[in-house]
Amino acid sequence: MSATHTTNGAELDRRDVLALTQYLTVLDDLPSVAGDDDRYVVVSQSGAAYLVDLGEGSCTCPDYRYRGGRCKHLRRVEFATGTRQIPAGVDAVDPDLGRHLHDGAPRRPEFPVGAVVRDRRRDDRGGRMRVLRTLDIRADEYEIEPGRTVAAYNPDGDPADRVVEVAFEGDLDRHVPGWREWERADLATELEAYREEWDVDVRTYAFPRGRLEAE
């Protein structure tokens, strides 16, 4: 029986976990695959390279040829290209997932407005944040200050990751009494109205999607 991991109701088998966490490089610009939307080269941690064909659902690795089923290389391409979404709550996802592809970035499920999230990298700072919005803007396009992007503050992350704007619960507690009574889905709208009515400045922060995890 294969090992399984369960996250937010979604069951991941061992090959899914390996596909998400191992250092596997997906390439779409090598001569053998360039110009073919279905074919990719996957380079494993050992340096071995395998040809994955998404259209056929096949791979040239021994695991696919001899054991049957969908190997980690095929699954890695699915996650890296966005054919499959990365389940929320999966820890230790390889930060280079999708980095070497020309088109797009791996898709992670969006956090709903009002969702409770934490910074994967830090356990201090009071931790809990609330999502205000997920933007259709890449981390290397969103400027926190002139000439300084979200990606620049997160050099180990994926520059193509979407940006999520959040507010710390501690700041909301200090400056916006009664905010916890609002409907979660209305948090961003209610907060903006409160700011305008009471001239209160609650600081918001911008993170790349991959740096946040749902609580």
Helices 14-21 + 72-81 axis angle, to 10: 60
Confidence of residue 98 (pLDDT cuts 50, 70, 90): low
Over residues 51-67, the pLDDT tens digits come to 999 999 999 999 998 88
Same domain, yes or no: 129 and 74: no
Q: Given 61, 81, 101, which residue is the final one in a domain?
A: 81
Residues 129 and 65 in one domain: no
Task: Clarify whether residues 50 and 123 are in a common domain.
Answer: no
Containing structural domain, residue 10:
4-81
The reply to whether 108 falls in a domain is no
Measured CA to CA, the distance from residue 19 to residue 17 in angstroms comes to 5
Residue 28 lies in a domain: yes
pLDDT tens-digit profile of 79-95? 888 788 776 656 667 77
Q: Do 58 and 145 lie in a common domain?
A: no
Closest CA to 13 of 82, 81, 66, 63: 63
For residue 106, being part of any structural domain is answered with no
13-31: pLDDT as tens digits: 788 889 988 989 999 888 8
Same domain, residue pair 132 and 73: no
Is residue 96 assigned to a domain?
Answer: no
Give residue 108's pLDDT.
Answer: 60
Same structural domain, 76 and 124: no
Query: For 178-214, what is each residue's pLDDT tens digit?
Result: 999 999 989 999 999 999 999 998 999 999 988 998 8
- Of the residues 56, 81, 106, the one at which a domain ends: 81
pLDDT confidence band for 103 (50 / 70 / 90): low
**Are 128 and 172 part of one and the same domain?**
yes
Q: Name the nearest CA neighbour of 207 among 170, 162, 168.
A: 162
End-to-end CA, the chain = 30
Q: Is 99 inside any structural domain? A: no
pLDDT digits 0-9 by tens, 143-180: 999 999 999 999 988 888 889 999 999 999 999 999 99
Left if phi > 0, otherwise alpha if psi is -120 to 50, otherwise beta: which for 123? Answer: alpha
Q: What is the pLDDT of residue 5?
A: 41
The verdict on 50 and 131 lying in the same domain is no
Q: Do 46 and 129 belong together in one domain?
A: no
Best CA proximity match to 149, nearest among 140, 157, 158: 140
Q: Is residue 15 part of a domain?
A: yes
Domain presence at residue 95 = no
Number of domains in the chain: 2
Q: Is residue 9 part of a domain?
A: yes
**Of 25-39, 99-113, 154-168, which range is least confident?**
99-113
As beta bridge partners, residue 42 has 26, 50
Of 36, 64, 81, which one is at a domain's C-terminal end? 81
Would you mind telling me the total number of residues written for the chain in this entry? 215
Name the region of 178 (left: φ>0; alpha: ψ -120 to 50; beta: rest): left
User: What is the predicted pLDDT for the residue at 102?
Assistant: 61
